[in-house]
Amino acid sequence: MATNLSGLVKKLQDIMRSDPGINGDAQRIEQIIWALFLKVYDAKEEDWEMDEDEYHSVIPEKYRWQNWAHDDGKGTVRTGEELLDFVTELFTVLKNLPITPDMPKNKKIVRTMFEETNQYMKDGVLLRQVINVIDGIDLESYENMHALGDIYETILRELQSAGRAGEFYTPRAVTDFMAERIEPHLGEVMADFACGTGGFLVSWLRELEKQIKTPKDRELWNDSVYGIEKKQFPYMLAITNLLLHDIDNPNIDHGNSLLHDVLDYTEKDKFDKILMNPPYGGSEKKDVMSHFPDDLADSETADLFMSVILYRLKQGGRAAVVLPDGFLFGTDNTKVNIKKKLMAECDLHTIIRLPGSVFAPYTSITTNILFFDRTHPTEKTWFYRLDMPEGYKHFSKTKPMRLEHFEPVREWWDDRREIIEGDFPKAKCYTAEEIADNGYNLDLCGFPHEEEEILEPMELIQQYQTRRAALNQQIDTILARITAKLEENE
């Protein structure tokens, strides 16, 4: 079996392309994910059986991965029509597993994972090949990686529409840097209200794991993250990802964080730390906006998530959030109201301006990291422009951003000073009064206009494709907002 992720995905895709039941990458993703989950869940159950004398699997013995998926080479394993019939039966059983309120989450998740999942393959011989490839994965060698998120992203890269709103994920360097700067402590709980494949949750867990010294510490660590994700594929991968990282009861809900009245949140709904890259570029309908106060109700998805964060961050809590430039310079009433609320209720102490190609090749939208604490109103905000590292013209899927590229920020963070390069500020502090007088425009310490870059033909084509995808996304968002307004006035 191929030892690298792209090789693994390519091998699985090549097998499924010959199956008459598979139509497109979305269905290929679904096939890969449900089998990966069962493979990982089976490995975890082996651990739980060793740790608990009375552990009983929620999956009936006949349908556990180890009892039907593994091919011992003796010619007795199910394949062809027999395998197709068995998997149809398997799905029926898993979709209808009995659930009780007192059941541990690690048992409830099996039914939740399969309630909206389908099996599309019609060739049982090819399905056996897929199962064999996944069964052959050495989970130990993948444990220290965001392996499952990478598999999902590897497939997304091949989708022409990969740059559409919500379909790109935060580079690991960014999630690791944000988790590091937010300073996790044992006993705290961190939340991500649009957790995707669980990148921020894993980065938090890795940073916090350094503090584990006792079995009690391990328990606190195990219960230190909460996520919610509305899309089925990334939700399934997030669950599997946490299981792989030794979280026995992944506290991840399948749902939409925006479909809850923010005024109804109580203290028990709040968190010590929040790490997020909210979906942006999307346009929400009136029924979603109705869950927010009128002065904060905006159709822009990222703006609504910012409001959710403000209502769910504990007093004394800390947050780090990735937001597009549009939030910083936006001067419409709703964006200004959100920024006023942010600065009145929290200390917005730092904004890091990120290079434009951090999310390449998914989108060319430029982004920023906002760091704020719910301690006191903002008195001053530091801005720092993180330039491209030396030797890089731009990031790409073959040359992605790495954690060491944040080293200039790390060096500056604890010894803040103003930095001027040429005629442009690279780092500068602005008072809350200055920001208010500027109409709450946070587009400060931005990137100076760059001279036109001469690229190789293929790089130029890729750049145009990325820009076109971003423009199409912006046009779709504007049209959706106009349509929503017209529907409101009917």
Return phi, psi of residue 433, to 5°.
Answer: -65, -40
Q: What is the mean pLDDT of residues 281-308?
A: 90
Average pLDDT, the chain: 87
- Give the model confidence (pLDDT) of 153-209 as tens digits: 565 554 433 334 444 578 889 999 999 999 999 999 999 999 988 989 999 999 999
- Span 324-329, average pLDDT: 92
Distance CA 71, CA 130 (A): 12
Q: Spelled out in words, what is the top-level CATH class assigned to the domain 147-477?
A: alpha beta
The model's pLDDT over 51-107, given as tens digits with 9 standing for 90+, comes to 887 889 999 999 999 999 999 888 889 999 999 999 999 999 999 999 888 898 889
Tell me: pLDDT of 365 over 60. Answer: yes
List 384's β-bridge partners, or say none: 352, 427
In three-state secondary structure terms, 354 is coil
Following CA atoms 156, 162, 163, 165 in sequence, which dihedral angle do they give, to the nearest 10 degrees?
-90
CATH 1.20.1260.30 in the chain, residue ranges: 5-142
Q: Where in the chain is the domain with CATH 3.40.50.150?
A: 147-477
Confidence band of 411 (pLDDT split at 50, 70, 90)? very high
Distances (CA, A) of 360 to 364, 398, 413: 6, 10, 26
Reading the block at residue 273, the tokens are 């730390």
The pLDDT assigned to 302 comes to 92
pTM, full prediction: 0.84
In angstroms, the CA 402 to CA 388 distance is 11
Mean pLDDT of 408-433: 95
Domain 5-142 has CATH 1.10.3720.10: no
Q: Rounded CA gap, 331 and 431, in Å?
A: 19
* Cα Dmax for the chain: 77
User: CA 112, CA 253: separation in Å to the nearest integer?
Assistant: 9
Mean pLDDT throughout 354-363? 80
Q: What is the pLDDT of residues 119-162, one digit of tens each?
A: 999 999 999 999 999 998 877 654 434 455 566 556 555 443 33
Q: How many residues does the chain have?
A: 490
Instruction: Judge whether residue 480 has pLDDT over 60.
Output: yes
**pLDDT one-digit tens code per residue, 225-255:** 999 999 888 888 889 889 888 898 899 999 9
Given a contact cutoff of 8 angstroms between Cβ atoms, the answer to whether 237 and 96 are in contact is no
Task: Please write the tens of the pLDDT for every residue from 14-45.
Answer: 999 999 999 887 788 889 889 989 998 999 99
How close are the terminal C-alpha atoms of the chain, in Å? 58
Cβ neighbours for 336, distance < 8 A, ≥ 6 positions apart: 330, 439, 440
| DSSP per residue, 116-173 | T-------HHHHHHHHHHHHT--HHHHTTTTHHHHHHHHHHTT-TTTTSTT-----HH
- Burial environment of residue 332 by CB neighbours within 10 A (0 to 12, 13 to 18, 19 or more): exposed
Say what percent of the chain tops pLDDT 70: 86
